Amino acid sequence: MKQERIWNCEDPSQRMVWAETTTEALQVLEGKWKIIIICQLFAAKGPIRFSELERLVTGVNQKMLIQQLRQLESDGIVARTVYPQVPPRVEYSLSDIGIALGPAMEALIDWAEEKRRIMATKSEAE
């Protein structure tokens, strides 16, 4: 899955493909709650009931949580399992492609923490 990149690629069309691919990936994660939902599902390390997810994603209303989960499911990031019982039980977990987001999420967290550190150092110096 991981491919070595040669960033000083001389082919402008290849650089454009990388830009378009990155944009596509970021659009999947767009939305105020999607990253939070994904982080909670990573932490759960297995299926989690809707009500538990709703409790963990503080500040989201039920309608928005459902909408964001549907989009993540549609994009293949989240797997939804409905159990035929009364009352209905619905569980959510990361799909294989969602789990594959782990290294990218870790890299983004590392980058954001480094950016915060640099910006804080810069502010202190001013």
| Average pLDDT rounded to a whole number, residues 5-29 | 85
| 72-101 mean pLDDT | 95
Classify domain 12-125 at the CATH topology level. Arc Repressor Mutant, subunit A (1.10.10)
Rounded Cα gap, residues 125 and 119, in angstroms? 10
Q: Residue 97 above 90 pLDDT?
A: yes
Greater model confidence, 125 or 114: 114
Choose the weakest-confidence range: 3-7, 8-12, 27-31. 3-7
The model's pTM = 0.84
Of 100, 83, 84, 80, nearest in space to 92 by CA: 80
